[in-house]
Amino acid sequence: MRQPRPIPRTTPRNSAQRVAGALVESPLQLLCTLEAHAAGLGGGQLHVHVRDDVPALGDALAAVRKFDLPSGVTFDLAGRRTALTAREPIWLVGDAFSGLFQVTATLRRPEQVVLVDDGLATLELARLLARSAPLVRLGGRALGARRRLGAVAAGRLRSLAADGRVVIFTALPIEAELSDALRSQGFDVRHNGFTWLSRQVVSDAPTEPTVVVGSAMPADGLVATDAYLDWVRGLAADGPLRYFPHRRQTEPVLARLRQLPGVVVDAPGAPVELRLRGLSAGQRVVSLPSTSAVLLTTVLGPRGVEVTPHDVPDSWWSPDASAELRAHLRSVLELARAARGTT
């Protein structure tokens, strides 16, 4: 196998005086953007362009504003509108599959790009970059023009990486072979250990012994709702349970969850990575396969909290869940095991 070449310089000269910009379109992107800036990857000043039509993002922003924010951070609530016209030399990017990023990347050449986590899509992005493939979202229908745009954007990122100007900042475990392939092209792969978040004052946390992180799969029509509710009912049979709903979970399902004995359904709010930081040894977090299972392992593992993603039984899946999607989601189980080995 080709040996990774030495990593070029990835931090621009006088980076402390540089201005960075980030388009944030999800709560996880917001959290990881702040972590990247706190780790010194966002220049001296960071303008966070916050998408203004995602309710859960507003909850996340309200939560992080109560923290001790990294110095130099400002928030722009105009989101997409200003991100299109911004001229920051450093870009922090959560969704490299978005059309907005890909169009902008073809028009401008930033001084540095920092790719931060956006769920499991981050791993798919890493695989596509390593294979020199177009940046097309998994499961998406990419017509000719959209695929060409993804190819151009991928080429721009690889060109910047060859000059030592792209950092992949991720809390997800990246297997050694993939990491070596990325580094051989000049990508700087760095681990996000949520160091900034761990320094924040811990607020109140659930007292129930079991916490369930809700899944969007029933709402998305991927698994049978009745089977999902039976699963939660079985977990509650072991003792009191606090349920944190997914932002896409529907009210009819939440109403049925509230009727389950021993289950307390929490109100929607900030990301679970923020809300569950106060859990302690002896409590456990259970979920179906999701990125949260991996990230919560990183956040809560050092506190002695068991985080366990459960596999989805074959009988739960609907015809809308493709074999490729099932395999992609089940990969979380291995990722969570790898994350436990690093905490």
pLDDT tens string 286-338 = 999 988 988 999 889 888 899 999 999 999 999 998 888 888 888 888 888 88
Q: Are 303 and 280 in contact (CB under 8 A)?
A: yes
Tokens of 210: 């079991």
pTM of the model: 0.86
First to last CA, the chain: 30
Q: What is the pLDDT of residue 86?
A: 67
Tokens of 245: 């709903």
Q: What is the pLDDT of residue 6?
A: 40
Hunting for tokens 């450093």 — which residue is that?
90
Instruction: Supply φ then ψ for residue 198, to 5 degrees.
Output: -65, -20
Q: DSSP characters for 205-256?
A: ---SSEEEE--STTTTTSB-HHHHHHHHHHHHTTS-EEEE--TT--HHHHHH
Q: What is the pLDDT of residue 328?
A: 82
Q: What is the pLDDT of residue 3?
A: 44
Strands 210-213 and 284-287: parallel
Could you check whether 15-198 and 210-340 share the same CATH topology?
Answer: yes
Q: Does domain 210-340 correspond to CATH entry 3.30.70? A: no
Q: Which pLDDT tens digit goes with each residue over 198-237? A: 888 887 789 999 999 999 899 999 999 999 999 999 999 9
Q: Which of 161, 82, 87, 88 is nearest to 125 (CA)?
A: 161
pLDDT band, residue 168 (cuts 50/70/90): very high
Q: What is the pLDDT of residue 15?
A: 52
Q: How far apart are CA 265 and CA 242, in angstroms?
A: 6
Q: Are 254 and 228 in contact (CB under 8 A)?
A: no
Q: What is the mean pLDDT of residues 238-252?
A: 91
Task: Give the helix/strand (H/E) hosting 343.
Answer: none
Q: DSSP characters for 88-152?
A: -SEEEES-TTSHHHHHHHHH---SEEEEE-BTBHHHHHHHHHHTT-----TT----HHHHHHHHH
> In a 10 Å sphere around its CB, with 0-12 CB exposed, 13-18 middle and 19+ buried, how is residue 234 labelled?
exposed
Q: How far apart are CA 99 and CA 318, in angstroms?
A: 29
Q: What is the pLDDT of residue 8?
A: 41
Q: What is the pLDDT of residue 142?
A: 62
The overall average pLDDT reported for the chain is 87
Q: Which of 282, 278, 265 is nearest to 213 (CA)?
A: 265
Q: Are 192 and 40 in contact (CB under 8 A)?
A: no
Ranges of each domain in the chain: 15-198, 210-340
Q: What is the pLDDT of residue 167?
A: 97
pLDDT band, residue 342 (cuts 50/70/90): low
pLDDT band, residue 140 (cuts 50/70/90): low
Q: What is the pLDDT of residue 87?
A: 78
pLDDT at 12 exceeding the cut of 80: no
Q: Does domain 15-198 correspond to CATH entry 3.40.50? A: yes
Q: What is the mean pLDDT of residues 124-144?
A: 84
Q: What is the pLDDT of residue 79?
A: 67
CB atoms within 10 A of CB 282: 9
Q: What is the pLDDT of residue 169?
A: 97
Q: What is the mean pLDDT of residues 95-110?
A: 87
- Percent of the chain scoring above 70 in pLDDT: 90
Q: Which amino acid is at 148?
A: R
- Alpha-carbon distances, residue 40 vs 20, 275, 299 (angstroms): 11, 25, 20
CB atoms within 10 A of CB 229: 17
